[in-house]
Chain A
Amino acid sequence: MAVKEIKVKSNIPIYSIGVSWILYSLVFKMYRIIDFIIAACISAVVYMALYFIIPDKNIEITEPDFVKSGDKTADEIVERGNIMLGELLEIKGSIDNVILKNNIDELHKTGSLIYGYVSKNPSSAPSIKKFNDYYFPETVKILKAYDEIDDFAGKNANETKTKIEKSIQSMINAFNKQLDNLLYDKTFDVRTDIKVLETLLAEEGLSGKED
């Protein structure tokens, strides 16, 4: 996982322009072009001063680091998945609901495992095609919608947010199921190997079990 740090400028300097204009209009006469120029100069000075005084806010974004496999299809899928995983983290960073943040973390963790596995096992890429083309983008789309309406408190906004919060568990299940399906071939091979090994050991009398 790569941790990316983004610097975000404060919006206070922008609002200070408005505040400067309000104060100017309250205190001074304002009807000539010169009055507007003075107000603009004062607000520009205030903006610049606050722009440099107020420190940038640092936001950390962790992005999964996948190595290219050389398989074009697999690399394309992993690259797209990587972008969507990044989007999940951005959404997580900007919403306020703690439970939903934890659930997004879980989605991100499972998603990272899926794409990490595909990057190491490119032959498994076709089995996550539907997940990559539909389920994951839809999940991101729904969570983006949540992010957009997060600040609103109307009836529709609240109902929609509640629905999304409830449906997130289904998304987590789907992600886990996808990971499980992805690992099926691998686990099947391992189980078969274990069974063969146990059979051979038993035939040679090395299993430690007595007949």
Chain B
Amino acid sequence: MSREGRKIVLVWGEIEKNEIGMTTLELLNVAQALVRALDGEVHVIFVNPKTEKELCGQAIFFGADTVHVFDMPGRSDLTWETCVAIVQNLVREVSASILLFPHTLTGSQVACQVGFSFGFPVVLDCVQIEIEESSGNLVVTRPVYGGKCYGIYTLLSESAAITLHPKSVSPARKEESKKGKVFFREIREDILQTKVRLVDVIPFEFSGPKLEDADVVVCGGRGIGGTEGFEQLKELALALGNGAVGATRAAVNEGWASQEKLIGISGKTVAPKLYIGVALSGACQHIIGMKGSKIVVAVNKDPEAPIFRFAHYGVVEDYKRFLPAFLQTIRSRPEKGGENDGR
């Protein structure tokens, strides 16, 4: 499938809302840079995409040379173990040597299992993936110590399985003139893995927009003190125009907010236009999940709270006093800054 001796970079593809997913576009950007340095080809794999499978072919416009779509109609209970087996087969078939995954749960799970099975080095959550010109080695940068610092690593192998931290690089640009090949393939019964069986799926209760996509994020921390405080944050998020509420690890551990609201190293990464951090200290583990935000506002009664070092605007005030006043101010201007903001 590939010309002799060319390096194959394999990207794990995902579909979101009937489009090639943002994480996939970010990976394709990295993959294109790698194949330019290595004289290689970019392959993308989609497993059981929840969409018209023809849509996956659009990955070609974003830099894929070959797209493989594996499908098993009527089966929505495939576990990651089966995904691992499918990727393993494809890696052998096309001799892929660099495997790129998004740093999502499934992404890291498949990356680890496939990577280890081939003896590839496995590195997760990278913010930068490059080829060192002098040596031709892969060099990756990733957060360590909960984001307090970053480590730069050289991979002493021509192969690797790597996950990319969301929103660390820009997405690949679309070029409709690009050409490539698309293969549609059925997932064979005999590849289904049985050591793990999916019994049931329980969705989290949802209200409002998804955290990762929201233009406004209001996040609460340990100082919020309880679930009532989070109701107040929700009110503010709605008043600011369909914003989403997030939480720090401390607040999730207290049970004031559910896991899917967690922003930070073990949760989600957000990069909204406006982020408001309320009664949270600003631990590195959290900062790493919100540092891409355009405007950061911090509300905390402790002027020494580290979050102020990452905020454009700081309000030293008890949130219980400040938020009602702020809500009233926003609501008293229903024209939403209409007269002179030039939008």
A binds B: no
